[in-house]
C-alpha cells in the first residue's frame, strides 16, 4: 500500500532531485518476506566490500508498520557515468519541461533514471497476473545489482554476469 508519494521539484542540487514512493505491507507476511529478502541481499552485498564498510539496512516505520522507501534520481552525474546516452524526459514525468530545463553539462537524464508506471488490466484468462520483464543496464559506480522481477523472485547480477 502506498503511504507517501513524493515528486520533489524543490530548488535543490539537481543531483539529489528524485521521485520516491514509500510502501507498507501492513504487517502482512508477504511484505515481511520482502524485508527479510532485502536484509539478506544486504548481507550478500556486504561481502563485496571490506568488512564493516556496509552500513546497516533498516526499514522505516509508518503508521506503526514497517515500510520501505523506493526512490530514483532524475539525473545522473557525468562523473559517475561518463558514457551513457542522455534521454528526453517522458511528457508524463515532466509535462511543463521544468526538469528538462535543468539539464546541464554535469548531469543528464538517462536509462538509469527512468521509472515505468503501469496499471493492472485484469484479463479473462490467467487472472490478475502481471507479466513484464525489466532489463537494467548498469554503467555507474554501483558495484553489484539485484533485480526484483515480480512475485518475490530476485535475480542477482555481479559485474554484469547473472549468477542466480
Selected from 10, 83, 85, 130, the binder of other proteins by CB under 8 A is 130
- Residue 139 near residue 79 (C-beta atoms within 8 A): no
- Residue 67 near residue 1 (C-beta atoms within 8 A): no
- Residue 17 near residue 72 (C-beta atoms within 8 A): no
* Chain position carrying cell 539539464: 103
Tell me how far apart the terminal alpha carbons of the chain are, to the nearest angstrom: 29
Rounded to the nearest whole angstrom, what is the least distance from the CB of residue 11 to other proteins in the complex? 21
x/- site string to other proteins, residues 62 to 91, per CB under 8 A? Answer: ------xxxxx-------------------
Binding site for other proteins (CB under 8 A): 1-5, 7, 19-21, 23, 38, 41-42, 45-46, 48-49, 53-55, 57, 68-72, 92-93, 115-120, 128, 130, 132, 134, 136, 141-150
Amino acid at each position: 500500500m502506498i503511504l507517501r508519494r513524493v515528486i520533489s521539484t524543490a530548488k535543490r542540487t539537481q543531483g539529489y532531485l528524485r521521485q520516491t514512493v514509500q510502501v507498507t505491507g501492513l504487517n502482512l507476511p508477504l511484505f515481511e518476506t520482502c524485508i527479510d529478502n532485502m536484509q539478506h541481499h544486504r548481507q550478500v552485498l556486504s561481502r563485496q566490500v571490506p568488512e564493516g564498510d556496509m552500513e546497516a539496512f533498516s526499514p522505516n516505520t509508518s503508521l506503526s508498520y514497517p515500510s520501505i522507501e523506493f526512490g530514483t534520481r532524475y539525473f545522473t552525474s557525468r562523473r559517475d557515468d561518463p558514457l551513457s546516452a542522455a534521454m528526453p524526459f517522458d511528457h508524463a514525468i515532466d509535462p511543463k519541461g521544468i526538469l528538462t530545463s535543468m539539464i546541464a553539462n554535469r548531469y543528464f537524464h538517462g536509462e538509469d533514471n527512468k521509472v515505468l508506471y503501469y496499471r493492472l488490466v485484469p484479463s479473462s484468462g490467467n487472472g490478475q497476473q502481471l507479466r513484464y520483464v525489466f532489463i537494467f543496464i548498469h554503467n555507474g559506480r554501483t558495484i553489484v545489482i539485484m533485480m526484483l522481477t515480480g512475485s518475490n523472485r530476485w535475480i542477482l547480477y555481479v559485474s554484469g554476469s547473472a549468477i542466480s
